[in-house]
Structure formats: C-alpha cells, structure tokens
Structure 1
Amino acid sequence: MTGRVVVIGDALIDELRDDAGVREFVGGAGLNVAVGLARLGIPTSLIAMVGDDAAGEQIRAYLAEHDVVLLPSPSEHGSSRAVSTRSAGGEPQYVFNEAAQNRRVRYGDAERAALADAPMVVVSCFPFDDAEQTDALLDAAASVPLAIDPNPRAGMLRDRAAFVRGFEKAAARAQLVKVGEDDAQLLYGTPLEELREKLSSLGVEAVLATYGAGGAAIDVGELTVSRGIADLPGRIIDTMGGGDAVLSTTVALVRDGLPGDEASWGYVLDRAMEVAAATCRSEGALLRIPE
C-alpha cells in the first residue's frame, strides 16, 4: 500500500498534576496512536480538532516533529485540554475542558482524499454518542478497512446508551476493534470477556482485548491468541500510553491485511506487548521502542 494510515480522534494538551508538580504533554488517544505509528515507521495522517491558540501551535509543532500530517478541524472553543491528577498507583483521573467535551471533526476534500488513499483508518476516542458525527465518519471512510478503539472517557461521555449504539454501528463495519477492561465496565457494566463475545457476534474480524498487567488477547473467528505482559528491565513509570502503544503496534503490523494463522497473531501480540512495556517505563504517552 502507498497511502498513509489515517487516524481520526482527539489531540489535546495533557496537564499532569501529582506530588512532583505540574507538567504538560501533547497528547490525546488519537494523537498518541498517530505519533506511535509514525515512530514505528508508518506514514501517518491525523484528522483531529485543533484550536488556533497557543496550545494548538504546540500540538501542530509536536506532530510536525514526528512527521505526522495534520488535517485539522476548526474549534470554536480553542484546543482541548485534559487535567489529570495521579493516584498513588499512577492511574490518572481526568477532567476535560469545554473544547474536549465538544470535540468535532469535519471531512472536507483533503480529508476525504486522504481517507480514500489509506490502507487502514484508525478511530480512537471518538464521540460515538453523537449520531451525526458517527454517520459522517462511516460515510467518509466507507471504502477503507477500519480499526476502532472506543476509548470512552467518563468526563466526555454525554449519553452512554447513545455511545454504545454509535460504537456498535461502527464496530459492525470494522476489521479490528480494541477494547479494554475499563471500556467494558464503563459502557456495558460487564466483564471484558462478554464484550469480546458481543463484538465477535457483530461481525468484527479481529477483537483485540487488553488487560493491563494481565496482558492481551485477540479473537479471530474460532482462534484466540493470548500473551502476558513483556518483562523488560526497569520499573513501570506511567501506564498512560500503554493501550495506545498496543493499538499502534498492532495496526502497524496488520494494516495491509490481517494475519491468517496463530503464529502470525502471536508475533503481533508479542511485539505489541514489548512496545507497550517500553512505553510504560517512561513518563508520558509517547510510544517507546524497546531496542
């Protein structure tokens, strides 16, 4: 494939507050996946809402530094910001500003041309509770394989039932869907195993399930492949970018077609676990490569 992978999702400023003080990072799940793909050597574009403000300039400069092409949607509320307060265990609790809660992407000629040329479109942290935006996404990406991470955030979730409807409508069209234990609890109030079965029943070709310290599994038809977390030197510093690293690595390896056997899927999961483990050994969500 010659086209760039296109990621559709959020781009924002992560403001981290803990005992060490306050730090800012460029982030957002969609942006993290796009930058992660670029760091893995995959040409990538990002469709995201970015404001014309100082934070927006920071986001643009960061994406340019990592060779990600930005196709920005305008924002009347400025750039999105997430203030996260860390618990003793390192898991962030988020509060989102008005821009993040009203995120919206638009599909003009440039966006549609990029989507038409993409080998795969990755959707992460999308407002699936907005039926109009969900329909616009599916229309714009109608002819391209989809990879979806619902990545719901309690602070941005307006209507849980509507989000589930929009997510399932998109998932039924997807080649790959990544879900975690938090997604299953927030959206369905059920164990992740039940959500895996539901997504498979919707027709998702490959369901990628992440369990944090419990590793990951992938369901492809009757085949299930599982892997534990990778054991790398050093301690875990920050889990914020772990799931995004798993998705970036998986998409990098399957963007031109899903593997057809257990050994190939095992390689994908092994590599995803290694990259996630390296990422979690540095502060911030920037994907790190073990080598």
Structure 2
Amino acid sequence: MSPRVTVIGDALIDELVDERGTLRFVGGSALNVATGLCILGVPTTLVAMIGDDADGALIRAHVAGYGMEFAPTLTPLGTGVARSERRDGEPHYSFSEPMLHRVLDFDDTQRRAIETADVVAVSGFPLDDEGQAGLLAEVLEASAGVVALDPNPRSGMLRDAAAFGRAVEQLGGTVDLLKLGDDDALLLYGRPVASVIDALRHRYTHILATEGSNGASAHLPGRQVSSPALASAGGVVDTMGAGDAVFASVLAEVATAGLEAVEWHATLHRAMGVAAATIAHPGALLRSP
C-alpha cells in the first residue's frame, strides 16, 4: 500500500491583483501542499476550513479533480479569501473575515485521517489561538506517523507573534520535522532563519530552513546539508508557491523513504528544482522541472 499524507491547514481563494486586473485561484498553503503531493503521486487527505458557498464548491471541485480526500470543517463565515497584489513578483496580502477567524473542529473523520496517515503535515495554522493550538497538539500526539510543521505565519492574520512563536517551540516535542522560511523567522522572531536555528534545535531534531534566493538547508542530528537555489533572476514570475512546493517535494520523499532514510543532498536539490519550475509560472501550483 502506498504511504498516505494528511495535510492540515489553510484552503482559500487567492485573488491576484495586478495592472491587468484580478485573477482568482483556489489556494491556501495546506491546499497547495496537498495538491503538490498529489501531482508528485502521493495519496493525500486535506483537512481544512471552507464555507458552504460558491467558493467552497470551487475548492471541493479542485480537491476532487486532483484525487485527494477531503475532510473539511464548515464555517458559517464563508470561505476565506486572500487578496494579493504583486510588487516585483512578491505577494502583498490582505485577508477576508473568515481567514481572521480560522477554526478546525477536528471531528472524528478528521482525527481518523490524522491518526492513520504515514505522514501528517501542518501548513498554515492559527497557532496564536490558544484553543486551536491546544487541539492541534492533542491530535498530533495521537498520530503514529511522521509529523511535519510549516507554521507559515502571515502578517495580515497574525494576532500575537510572541504567542505564535511560543506555540512553534512547544510543538517541538511532538513534531519531527520543522520547516521555517526566512520571512517566517523575521515575522516571529525578528531575525533571519539562520540565526534562530540553534535555538530551535533544542526542540527539533530535523529542521528544513528555506532562504529564498539563497536556497535551503536541512539541519539534522550531527550534520547540516545545503542546496543553492536553482532559479535565475529572469526566470522568476511569481514566488507565491515556492515554499509550499519545497515542502511538498520534501514531504513526498519523507513519505516514500521514511524520515531517517531520506537522502538529503538529493532531496534538497530536487526540491530546489521543483521550486524553480513553480516560480517560473503565475500562481502557486507545483510544477516539475
């Protein structure tokens, strides 16, 4: 039987605004990661919040189209929208009311998907909400699989950066693999990711650090492995999906090989190639090199 990944986190509608007008895509970090895993051939279940509305139907259709299983929490607030204006290829976000009040019920169906998965990945979650953070820790502790976390904070949804950062640190006893980007570290700790690795290694045995054009590194027990970015400046169209593409690529290898058997040099090089192909196109859909 093929290994299965359950991805927990955000699913929403991305509105991309530029001088040509507004485009709408199905998106959200968890949905992007789950979609990427499906593209890479890994059976995947998505646990996310949507509304019982037209945008929620778009997300359901997208999920079904990629063959993933879906265990949603329905909110009366409606499906969330992230509005993104591009400046030099970089996204600048604002968020609709549902995204400011994100919640997952963790009902029986969702808990079953988490408990039975070979890998559980969290990508985009309101860790500064004490109740939600507590529920997440509870369900992750019940997982028998590898647990990975990309906290993916967003300034427009972040209510308490200090609380969010503390929650990331507290999950270190439960999470096996932490992914942290440079922007995330700056937002949570006021420092680039390279300067917070040592502190986080007291809580995490495996850390995947991404630094945009400077590439990525894996900080492992007793060693560190790095890979340069493979994208050229002229090949960057839209960086929106870069981090999610890297996370999906690494998770696919973790699911297939097992965390302790990952060949990190090859895995990081492959992930950088996937990221380069993804950011050469508009939107966040994972692309293979």
TM-score (norm 1): 0.94
Opposite residue 101 of structure 1, the aligned amino acid is L
Cα distance in structure 2, aligned partners of 1:200 and 1:183: 16
Tell me, yes or no, if the aligned pair for 1:209 and 1:217 is still in contact at 8 Å.
yes
Tell me, yes or no, if the aligned pair for 1:47 and 1:71 is still in contact at 8 Å.
yes
Structure 2 spans left out of the alignment, 5+ residues: none
Is residue 33 of structure 1 aligned with residue 33 of structure 2?
Answer: yes
**Alignment match, 1:73:** 73
What is the CA deviation profile of residues 149-188 of structure 1, one whole-angstrom value per residue up to 9, with x for unaligned ones? 0100011011111111212112332111111111111000
Deviation at 1:240, TM superposition (A): 0.5
TM-align CA RMSD: 1.6
Please, which moves more after superposition, 6-15 or 128-137? 128-137
Q: Secondary structure at the match of 1:201?
A: coil
Cα distance in structure 2, aligned partners of 1:260 and 1:80: 38
**Alignment match, 1:209:** 209
Please, which moves more after superposition, 274-283 or 193-202? 193-202
**Alignment match, 2:189:** 188
Tell me, yes or no, if the aligned pair for 2:47 and 2:71 is still in contact at 8 Å.
yes
Q: Count residues in correspondence.
A: 286
Cα distance in structure 1, aligned partners of 2:202 and 2:126: 23
Q: Secondary structure at the match of 1:6?
A: strand
Q: Secondary structure at the match of 1:156?
A: coil
Cα distance in structure 2, aligned partners of 1:101 and 1:266: 38
**Alignment match, 1:97:** 96
TM-score (norm 2): 0.95
Alignment map for 1:194-273 (pairs within 5 Å): 194-202=195-203, 204-230=204-230, 235-255=235-255, 256-260=257-261, 264-273=263-272
Alignment map for 1:111-190 (pairs within 5 Å): 111-142=110-141, 143=143, 144-190=145-191
Consecutive aligned runs of 4 or more in structure 1 exceeding 6 Å deviation: none
Structure 1 spans left out of the alignment, 5+ residues: none
Cα distance in structure 1, aligned partners of 2:234 and 2:191: 34
Deviation at 1:248, TM superposition (A): 0.2
Tell me, yes or no, if the aligned pair for 1:130 and 1:166 is still in contact at 8 Å.
no
Tell me, yes or no, if the aligned pair for 2:13 and 2:25 is still in contact at 8 Å.
yes
Cα distance in structure 2, aligned partners of 1:236 and 1:191: 22
Cα distance in structure 2, aligned partners of 1:122 and 1:80: 21
Cα distance in structure 1, aligned partners of 2:269 and 2:2: 26
